[in-house]
Amino acid sequence: MRDINWVALIVFVLLFGFITWLGFAAAHWRRGDLDLLNEWGLGGRRFGTLIAWFLIGGDLYTAYTFIAVPALAFGTGALAFFAVPYTIIIYPILFIVFPRLWSVSHKHGYITAADFVRGRFGNRWLALAVTLTGIVATMPYIALQLVGLQVVIGGMGFVGEGWVGDVPLIIAFVILAAFTYSSGLRAPAAIAIVKDLLIYITAFAAIIVIPIELGGFGKIFAAVPAQKLLLAVPQGNTTGAYGAYATLALGSALALFLYPHSLTGILSASSSHAVRRNAALLPAYSFMLGLLALLGFMAIAVGVDKLPEYAQGFALFKANFAVPALLLHTFPSWFVGVAFAAIGIGALVPAAIMSIAAANLFTRNIYREFFRAQCTDRQESQMAKWVSLIVKLGALVFILFVPTQYAIQLQLLGGIWIIQTLPAVIIGLYTRWFNAWALLIGWAVGTVLGTIMAASVNFAAMYPLAIGGWTFPSYIALSTLVVNLIVAAVLTPVFNAIADKAKDETLASDYAM
């Protein structure tokens, strides 16, 4: 711990202290009975358009995204920009599909996607599959948020030195765990406002100041090697990088709102109209993410990885250090403190929501469904609070003791797994044509096949499908979803013939806005 950047550190700690206070104070915000899971885990479904904008924005555009997308631009180039079409097409999906889920959940008191599936299909095992997928896909995502935090703490000079280097991360984690436990979803909602303002300030300052210093975007992109500047044009019988880019964007978009933390954000909105308004307002974050992706190219132009003062950071965090290094290189220390706090706090908001979402799932769809059907509302809420702690502890242990690479690979698999719940959750919002058992088998086939395909390409996102002399490199989540749907469609008449359909507790009018 030789070269600690004291000014940046003091600013960082002050801002962190402020949001810690805010996190605890949030328990009294729009006061509700925190002994009810609906209040602790969904903020009482009372967030209007503006607060929902901050909350969902802070939830979907995570700290890890802000580190990893520019890092991908820095290391790989144009492919990183898939984040832009990806975050364009999520909003038509949000607008059309999710007000229906909001309405039916509001009507029946559903808190999780699995609650809905249980009510709609009347099959607890299908609901269990949705539950387990959600929890397992969320865990590595929480761990990656802590990686974002680790990188900025490292950027301020806390590196190496064995366990002492981990102390700041552990402190941040304890703060996160404590305010989530006491305030529930109100804490990240309140903190998201501060975090998002800081992130916008950082992004716009960086996108204005750095190009001026470097002599304009023309000079920046002139420094980018040709193979990173654009996608490679496909040669011969393949869709090449074009297919990879488009399927990655489409598959990621279809998967996004199936993640438990996305759903928690949506369900906490005060009306289905607030959800729709946000589909038009949230793209502001997509624009900012695009600007942040450009920082990766600025880091190439500056050549931050060749500067000796950042050698240690790059050795530890690889390309993930590109943005912190660029900020350190460009800005005065106090502003580095602001920017790093934005990223650090940006890790706590989604981590809190993810742990709440996982806790809601466990409590509602495993504990109450399989073990304690008669539990009181108070017991249910208390169990969720404990589970949120356990989930975060698991993520911390993972990050401290397991190489980061595994968390990244698991998060990638998480995307492939979570999309397999699309037929039950999203298609289920429109039709009950599919048989629950057929959906369950489709889910299992998609999950197993996706895992095998990912493992066979050494845990990359793309699998080169070979069909009739053509090669289609495509996002595994998307191709396995197609298999899942075909299996479910083929088996539906079979199961309908041998078993009676369970009761559907929802009515067509429950889905209306």
Residue with tokens 């450009």: 294
Contact (CB, 8 A) for 384 and 347: no
**Residue 417 CB coordination number (10 Å):** 25
The residues in 420-459 that bind other proteins, with binding defined as CB under 8 A, are: 429-430
Q: Is 245 in the site for other proteins (CB under 8 A)?
A: yes
β-bridge mates for residue 472, sequence order:
465
**Residue 125 CB coordination number (10 Å):** 12
Measured from the CB atom, the residue of 296 and 344 that comes closer to other proteins is 296
> CB under 8 Å to 230, separation ≥6 — which residues?
78
The residues in 42-81 that bind other proteins, with binding defined as CB under 8 A, are: 78, 81
Quick one: DSSP state of residue 233?
A: P
Cα–chain center distance at 85: 16
Tokens of 292: 């942040």
Measured from the CB atom, the residue of 278 and 411 that comes closer to other proteins is 278
The residues in 484-503 that bind other proteins, with binding defined as CB under 8 A, are: none
Measured from the CB atom, the residue of 196 and 380 that comes closer to other proteins is 196
β-bridge mates for residue 167, sequence order:
none
In the complex, what is the shortest distance from the CB of residue 460 to other proteins, in angstroms, rounded to a whole number? 19
Q: Is 475 in the site for other proteins (CB under 8 A)?
A: no
d(CA 505, CA 502): 9
Q: Is 256 in the site for other proteins (CB under 8 A)?
A: no
Measured from the CB atom, the residue of 80 and 137 that comes closer to other proteins is 80
Q: Is 209 in the site for other proteins (CB under 8 A)?
A: no
Contact (CB, 8 A) for 265 and 56: yes
In the complex, what is the shortest distance from the CB of residue 110 to other proteins, in angstroms, rounded to a whole number? 17
Among 279, 298, 425, 485, binds other proteins (CB under 8 A): 279
Among 63, 250, 298, 491, binds other proteins (CB under 8 A): 250
- What is the H or E stretch that residue 253 is in? helix 240-256
In the complex, what is the shortest distance from the CB of residue 87 to other proteins, in angstroms, rounded to a whole number? 8
Measured from the CB atom, the residue of 105 and 388 that comes closer to other proteins is 105
In the complex, what is the shortest distance from the CB of residue 96 to other proteins, in angstroms, rounded to a whole number? 5
Contact (CB, 8 A) for 462 and 248: yes
Q: Is 281 in the site for other proteins (CB under 8 A)?
A: yes
β-bridge mates for residue 464, sequence order:
473
Q: Is 509 in the site for other proteins (CB under 8 A)?
A: yes
Contact (CB, 8 A) for 217 and 301: no
Measured from the CB atom, the residue of 92 and 160 that comes closer to other proteins is 92
β-bridge mates for residue 463, sequence order:
474
Contact (CB, 8 A) for 69 and 80: yes
Applying CB under 8 A, the residues found at the interface with other proteins are 78, 81, 84-85, 87-89, 91-92, 95-96, 100, 211, 216-221, 229-231, 233, 241-242, 245-246, 249-250, 273, 276-277, 279-281, 283-284, 286-287, 290-291, 294, 429-430, 508-509, 511-513
